[in-house]
Structure 1
Amino acid sequence: MQLDMAQVYTDFSGLAALRARAREDQDAALDQVSRQFESLFLQMMLKSMRDASAGGGILDSKQSEFYREMYDKQIAMDMAGGRGIGLADVIKRQLGGGVSAANRDLTLDDYVGMPVLAVTPKADTLHADDIAAATATALTSRLDGDPEAFLEALWPAAEQAAQRIGIAPEALLAQAALETGWGRAVMRRGDGSSSHNLFGIKADRRWDGERVNTSTLEYRDGV
């Protein structure tokens, strides 16, 4: 069964049809639901990128902002409905997509006694050390917030990391750009060297590796 997602973000009938037909073809519905989640993520990403821009032009107004938001939402749906950034595939796997029909009805008892298969990394699998080394090389020079320089410096490392985790490198760079202001606000150690923390990841007591202390302003529930 061909199950089309809503082609326009205001097409609520398409979402209703998706919900109704999910009872008939769960796999097809799961694929489309995953794409809808990817679309929502892309909408939030585009909105955050707009908010992080340098500022509006002289022709900007509430009306232009409203239509730009509509445009961004439609772009997100078109991207998710096409090739996407790989997030839909990850969500589908997390929700149980790709499970063969033969294994779908197995219980825990059915797995007892099954041989445990060794996991052998592929020869071309990229290791975390390789990615960290590539990132460190890219950040040896200070990034001053210039988008072009930021993308040029981090693109090789983003490609390597994206290949390993199965998403588009553009998505990684977009998130890193939002977190660091195109590299301008990368957290630094006491000696001024880069912490290489491009995503603002926080360390708690479970982390026993290297860390950097910095002051941040946090908002929770608007406060």
Structure 2
Amino acid sequence: MLVTSPRNPAETGPQGLKLVAEAEKLEALLWEQVLTSMTRSALPAGSLGTGSQLYNGLATRALASKMFGSTDSGLTRQIVAQLKTEIGGSGTSSGLQAPSTLQALSAHAGVQGAAALAPEARAVSYARAVWPAIKATAASLQVPPVAILAQSALETGWGASTPGNNLFGIKAVGAQAATRAATHEEVGGALTPTEARFAAFGSGADCLTHYAGLIRRVYPQAMGAGSVAQYADALARGGYATDSNYARKIVATAQSPLMQSVLHAVEGATL
């Protein structure tokens, strides 16, 4: 959290600033846990298809940052006061050891992950890594590159989960190299948690090469699609996924504000 009002003297100096910084991390974690609980109660697991839990986690963090990232927080100041109590005084002693709250905070998995890329930055980083190959693949299939990027983003949670360098949730066939991973399959109209064998590739480029061949062989009706919606509909009609909302989710991903930010970052303009 960002404390925007002037700090009092006890919150300045190296140790005071450290306390405030750690308190802000703890407050961010608390808000993230609150929002995560809200998400669990409001959205059914797997509602976004493959990679939905990872994507929901990224969205929760983004919402926490948006809602509370510029708040002049009384909670932060209360946390700082508690930290000072633990270290006994103003927190300016040069020989001070890290208080137990700081030790616990630094060991917490949620705080360790706080230094990770923000959702938008993570998405941009992923897109930059795959964009050249995706554009080449899209050109060979004569489809909009954003359609392929949106499908990959949906399947991997913007690169958060790519076991076996699988960027498109491609199932393994026969003796093909594979990894087992959790997923959701639609059964009787409901997305049901399960496990499946997903194809494993030596690299993301290998996956894209295989993907292009898969589209040509199994989903030729998708080739030459002039829009994201046409491409997604062709994949869905061809049975690419059991999720009856698969096409809609690809389109929603392609039209999302996050995608617009990503495209602006990688191309300098939206596509």
Structure with larger Rg:
2
TM-score normalised per structure 2: 0.27
TM-score normalised per structure 1: 0.32
